[in-house]
Structure 1
């Protein structure tokens, strides 16, 4: 099993955009009225949005590779404050989205190890993220050392109200 993380380049922006859309749709349609995640897709995975992120020095995006195949996407914000930690102390894990066919192969755990390595390189004290209250993500992060530190909601149009609740989780490093 070979898992790699390929930093986003101008050339891979369309691949990242497409992979992000596909992986999101495979896992999260249940959150949206009429199973239509357009508000999230348009705010996260258009080529224009990904290009803007690519130019932002605070943002790092990666293609997640499994045995040479594109398995998913990863996005972190290098400096983003959270619950008493300054932006200089905290790294925000914005997303790990994997295609369904790659779920359950240890890729998520390997991705978290990569994020911890990144955080240490940037001399961070904490990694934090937001995860849906419903579903398996919360349990996955807890089993990998993250603690629940707060609550929030998805604030986009057309999210089903009963699906919008999220946990804020953090891991000190």
Structure 2
């Protein structure tokens, strides 16, 4: 497995990986209309372009041992004082269960330390099975929130952290 720094030329690839992973992850948690709305808002070309223009926002593509695109990670260092925010980590269904998620979080930890932060935070849907995965990797729930994302939809999330 390897992680490759993504560029603006990878936007379509990120959009495709997001759709493939979201459909399997969220289809039983949120409605199809909310899923489409969120993908269109959060992964629009304009939104992703703005991330690539931000110096503290980083995307990496996850490539499996067979050189297939397995997923991606997006994070923002110095989001808060000494804190990196993990905004996105998604693997396509056929890549799950191979240890790629764990290795990607280990990669994130290395990057966070390199950037001088000592805490990682993230939001996870309260009904997402990834909650148990994050807990197994040393993340703890420190709060929860319901976030209005527009169009009558909300995100009902746990807030998690890991101190390094």
TM-score (norm: length of structure 1): 0.86
In the alignment, the residues of structure 2 paired with residue 29 and residue 35 of structure 1 have an alpha-carbon distance, to the nearest angstrom, of: 10
Is 1:128 matched with 2:121? yes
Aligned to 1:75: 74
Aligned to 1:107: 100
In the alignment, the residues of structure 1 paired with residue 71 and residue 148 of structure 2 have an alpha-carbon distance, to the nearest angstrom, of: 24
In the alignment, the residues of structure 2 paired with residue 166 and residue 139 of structure 1 have an alpha-carbon distance, to the nearest angstrom, of: 14
SS of alignment partner, residue 31 of structure 1: coil
In the alignment, the residues of structure 2 paired with residue 69 and residue 60 of structure 1 have an alpha-carbon distance, to the nearest angstrom, of: 20
TM-score (norm: length of structure 2): 0.90
Unpaired runs of at least 5, structure 2: none
Out of 154, 160, 163, the position equivalent to 1:169 is 160
Report matched runs for 1:1-173 at 5 Å: 3-67=1-65, 68-81=67-80, 86=81, 89-156=82-149, 157-159=151-153, 164-173=155-164
In the alignment, the residues of structure 1 paired with residue 19 and residue 7 of structure 2 have an alpha-carbon distance, to the nearest angstrom, of: 18
Unpaired runs of at least 5, structure 1: none
SS of alignment partner, residue 79 of structure 1: strand
- Give the CA deviation at 1:92: 0.3
- Give the CA deviation at 1:151: 0.5
Q: Once superposed, which parts of structure 1, at least 4 consecutive aligned residues long, lie more than 2 Å away? A: 29-36, 153-159
- Give the CA deviation at 1:136: 1.6
- Give the CA deviation at 1:155: 2.4
